[in-house]
Amino acid sequence: MRKDVRILLVGEPKVGKTSLIMSLVSEEFPEVVPYRVEEITIPADVTPERVPTHIVDYSEAEQTDEQLFQEISKANVICIVYAVNNKTSIEKVTNHWIPLITENTDKDSRVPLILVGNKSDLVEHSSMETILPIMNQYSEIETCVECSAKNLKNISELFYYAQKAVLHPTGPLYCPEKKDMKPLCVKALIRIFKVSDLDNDGILNDNELNFFQRVCFNSPLEPQALEDVKNVVRKNLIDGVQHNGLTLKGFLFLHTLFIQRGRHETTWTVLRRFGYDDDLELNQDYLFPPLKIPPDCTTELNHNAYLFLQSVFDKHDKDRDCALSPDELRDLFDVFPYMPWGPDVNNTVCTNDQGWITYQGYLSQWTLTTYLDVQRCLEYLGYLGYSIIAEQESQTAGITATRAKKIDLQKKQTQRNVFRCNVFGDMSSGKSGFLQAFLGRNLVRQKMIKEEHRSYYAISTTYVYGQEKYLLLHEVFPDFDYLTDADMACDIVCLVYDVSNPYSFEYCAKVFKQYFMDSKTPCMMIAAKSDLPEVKQMYGCSPLEFCRRHKMPPPQSFTCNTAAEPNREIYTKLTTMAMYPHIIQEDLTSSTFWLRASVGATVFAVLGFAVYRLLLKTR
């Protein structure tokens, strides 16, 4: 909504423009009226809409045409004043003032007009019969007000309507010719309906209507008032109310009715509460609220955000199979202006046997977005209406900035839940297979992935000492000479080589020596394709000896060429090393250490599955 309103009064000489302004300010008719008064500013606290209002007078005797054109271009609303007892001043509205204003305003930003019939105290009849055809001819005319500066009739109403024309304009909402709401307005209200339909049954029940009323207008509807609203819809629309709830058609009908009855401020209040600006686009301040992330910190969703996202998933998982079919996913993202998740997402997170994103995969993708691009996450949460449904000031309430990594290292403990592992390796070393195996896909399933749908990320949960953590794997393109800061910024490095290729290990050794040998980032060597015959690596020393010299754990054998899902133990190890980078070499090679971590993971996974099954039953 605008921060101030600028009202310009124009019209023929002696129709009472200056008198109207002076009567408003002094609340009495002036005995002496100058040609023109200087610009007047009415403070926000004395205006109905609580917005500062600037009132500008125009005098043909004192101002040039150039000055008039400048004032027209600056005005937010223009009041064309005529005298109800002066036929010539009425005619000038259409043959002079409206064309003049049209010529001096931008065609793409229509300035609302108010017709003001002054001196109503001098006649007994109304001018509305003459004015109505003019109003029907020009859609930019918001309304007409007959008033009297002498007896103060409708003076405050005149300026209220002028304010309202700027703050709650009819133009973006309604087409008078078609007697219907404009497409952009309908599109915005459909999104608002879908966000407010908390159970996604296509009907706003009493609880949903009351919640909607409370978040938009700060007070629920009384039961009788709620019933009266539904009765109005029932009388005018056959399918506007179903199962005692308001349908989308009924919701749109109500807003059409509000606008037609001059109560478009009601519709604007709803639109602005859900983030829309005057052009019916989602406001940038709404989609991207300010969020400062200190250096060396990462971003994660907090508990309340996960609860909200869980409710969104439940709302759209119609068949209760704990996965989103393509239709369910499209329905979920129907409140977005575009489809945010492409086919690559299905190869970034866990899916079911049909290739549909599971509940765990859904939360994992949100976790990934928050970690990699928190601004994009804020935007997505905005489309879903997080701040409204969760009753928070903005989407930032759902984001946690983690403690700086250097403090974690000092304290030898972390509060983070998401850990990044950058995966390095030469071409065809098995990096992609390593990522997909984390999502439970063996080699047979991996071969079904189309190249254009390939993902360089994989994210899922692991369990360390009974704690659920997210491990984010990122495959780094094997260009040794051009590693970026992002390629090196991670919690753990994974160096993958192909045991059947004698030249594969050399790349891993070079990357480690060049970039990570002197860093505090823990590294692990992966001996991939371990189902194939192992050959001697053409390097100065064996991979095992290399790891021993550089105080790394021994190379971990890995293969995704399995009949069932590949073993996940290696991912638990990676997460553990990321969580405890201060652990000394002796601990890393200790079988007792890994046993404690993996047993905790197994116990928690079994417990988690039991809870999961229980949730399924309750759902």
CA 480 to chain centre: 38
Q: Do 544 and 600 belong to one domain?
A: no
Q: Do 438 and 566 belong to one domain?
A: yes
CA distance linking residue 273 with residue 282, whole number of Å: 11
pLDDT value of position 93: 96
Which phi and psi (to 5°) does residue 311 adopt?
-65, -35
List the one residue out of 325, 320, 309 whose CA is nearest residue 377.
Answer: 309
Q: Do 218 and 320 belong to one domain?
A: no
Q: What is the mean pLDDT of residues 397-401?
A: 97
Q: What letter does residue 555 receive in the DSSP assignment?
A: P
Give 126-174 pLDDT, tens digit per residue. 888 899 999 888 888 988 999 999 999 999 999 989 988 888 988 889 9
Higher pLDDT pick, 245 / 489:
245
Q: Do 440 and 580 belong to one domain?
A: yes
Q: How many structural domains comprise the chain?
A: 5
Would the pLDDT of 230 be above 70? yes
* 481 within a domain of the structure (yes/no): yes
Give 404-437 pLDDT, tens digit per residue. 988 888 888 888 999 999 999 999 999 999 999 9
* 287 within a domain of the structure (yes/no): no
- Determine contact, residues 162/136, Cβ cutoff 8 Å: no
* 290 within a domain of the structure (yes/no): no
Single-letter amino acid code for the residue at 472: L
Q: What is the CATH number of the domain that holds 78?
A: 3.40.50.300
Q: What is the CATH number of the domain that holds 342?
A: 1.10.238.10
Q: Do 336 and 253 belong to one domain?
A: no
Q: Which residues pair with 365 in a beta bridge?
A: none
Single-letter amino acid code for the residue at 225: A
Q: Do 440 and 499 belong to one domain?
A: yes
Q: Do 139 and 242 belong to one domain?
A: no
Q: Do 40 and 138 belong to one domain?
A: yes
Structural domain of 54: 5-167
* 24 within a domain of the structure (yes/no): yes
pLDDT value of position 49: 73
Q: Do 582 and 597 belong to one domain?
A: no
What is the overall mean pLDDT for the chain? 90
The residue out of 220, 254, 281 marking a domain boundary is: 281
| Tokens matching residue 145 | 């007000």
CA distance linking residue 366 with residue 300, whole number of Å: 9
* 556 within a domain of the structure (yes/no): yes
Specify the pTM: 0.86
pLDDT value of position 590: 55
Q: What is the mean pLDDT of residues 319-340?
A: 97
* Residue 68 backbone zone (phi > 0: left; psi -120 to 50: alpha; other: beta): alpha
CA distance linking residue 598 with residue 466, whole number of Å: 9
The residue out of 337, 368, 402 marking a domain boundary is: 402
- Which burial class, exposed, middle or buried, applies to 238 when counting CB atoms under 10 A from its CB (0-12, 13-18, 19+)? exposed
Q: Which of 330-339, 534-543, 607-616 has the lowest mean pLDDT?
A: 607-616
* 172 within a domain of the structure (yes/no): no
Secondary element (H or E) of residue 269:
helix 264-273
- Determine contact, residues 70/55, Cβ cutoff 8 Å: no
The residue out of 122, 142, 167 marking a domain boundary is: 167
Q: Do 155 and 276 belong to one domain?
A: no
CA distance linking residue 9 with residue 97, whole number of Å: 11
Q: What is the mean pLDDT of residues 474-501?
A: 87
Q: Do 229 and 212 belong to one domain?
A: yes
C-alpha distance from residue 614 to each of 294, 358, 607, 608 (Å): 40, 17, 11, 10
pLDDT value of position 559: 96
* 256 within a domain of the structure (yes/no): yes
Q: What is the mean pLDDT of residues 566-584?
A: 89
Q: Do 132 and 243 belong to one domain?
A: no
| Tokens matching residue 8 | 């310009």
| Tokens matching residue 139 | 């859609």
pLDDT value of position 613: 45
* 119 within a domain of the structure (yes/no): yes
